[in-house]
Amino acid sequence: MLHQIDLELRAGCWTAVVGPNGAGKSTLLRAIAGLLPCSGQVELLGRELHDWPRQQRARALSWLGQNQSAADDLTVHDVAMLGRLPHQSWLAPASPADLAAVERALRQTQAWDWRERALGELSGGERQRVLLARALAVEAQVLLMDEPLANLDPPHQADWLLLVRELVAAGRSVVSVLHEISIALHADELVVMRQGRIAHHGACHEVATQRALEQVFEHRIAIHALAGQWVALPVTSVT
C-alpha cells in the first residue's frame, strides 16, 4: 500500500528506488508500469498512462519484474524474442529488425552463446541475464526494472551498471528497484522509501539524500567515499 505519492521522475536519467523490505518499492514500480489499480494519476512521457494505445505503451515501457516467470522449455532466443511482441503483428514472423534487436540484447547481457538452450537449464544468474535481454529487446524509451541484479555476480552487476549508463547516454530513462545500495549510489537520482511513502527524492551525491538513506535503514548502513565512489557499508558496532 502506498500513501500520498507525488513523484516526478526526470526523463533521460537513471533513478534508483531504495528502502527497507516492505517499504513499497515494488508496489511503486508496478504502479508506474500501470500494473496496479491506483486512485491517483500516473503519466508516462507527459501523457496519462491509460490514454496510451496498448501497443504504443508496450513499445514505450519495458518491464523486468522481480522473480519474473517465463516458460522453462522456451529457448533463450525465444524468450528474448518475447520482448519484440509489441513490435509484431499477430502471427507475423520475426522481422530482420526483430532478429537484430534480439541478437543485440542477448549480446549486451552475454547470453548470445546460450541462445539455443532451454531457459530451464540455466542458473539463476544466467536466467536473469536472459530476462534482462528480453526487457532490452523491447528497445523502449523507459525501462522499469525490479531487482535487476538478483542472482548476478559482481562482474555482471558491473556490466549492468555500464549498460544502464549506455542506455541513459542514448536518452533512455531507467527506473530500478535495488537492494545493492552501493550500486544504487551510482544512479542520477534516488527515491528513498519507507512504510509506503517517499522519505526523500534527490541526487545521489547530495548529503541530504545520503542521510535519508542511512535513516530509513536505521543507521545500520553508513555511506562513505571510497576510491572515487560512494559506498554503503554495514554498521555492525553497537553504541
The residues that touch ligand ATP, with contacts defined as CB under 6 A, are 1, 19, 21-27
Closest CA to 199 of 188, 211, 187, 182: 211
Report strand pairing: 14-18 vs 173-177.
parallel
Q: How far apart are CA 231 and CA 183, in angstroms?
A: 8
What separation, in Å, do the N-terminal and C-terminal C-alpha atoms of the chain show?
Answer: 34
For ligand ATP, the closer CB: 61 or 191? 191
Q: Find the shortest distance in angstroms from Cβ 66 to ligand ATP.
A: 7
How many CB atoms sit inside 10 A of residue 197's CB?
A: 14
Q: Find the shortest distance in angstroms from Cβ 23 to ligand ATP.
A: 4
Report strand pairing: 14-18 vs 142-146.
unpaired
For ligand ATP, the closer CB: 24 or 83? 24
For ligand ATP, the closer CB: 65 or 86? 65
Q: Find the shortest distance in angstroms from Cβ 187 to ligand ATP.
A: 16
For ligand ATP, the closer CB: 119 or 181? 181
Q: Find the shortest distance in angstroms from Cβ 94 to ligand ATP.
A: 34
For ligand ATP, the closer CB: 102 or 191? 191
Q: Burial letters for 205-223: b for 16+ Cβ neighbours within 10 Å, e otherwise?
A: eeeebbebbbebbeeebeb
Q: Find the shortest distance in angstroms from Cβ 186 to ligand ATP.
A: 19
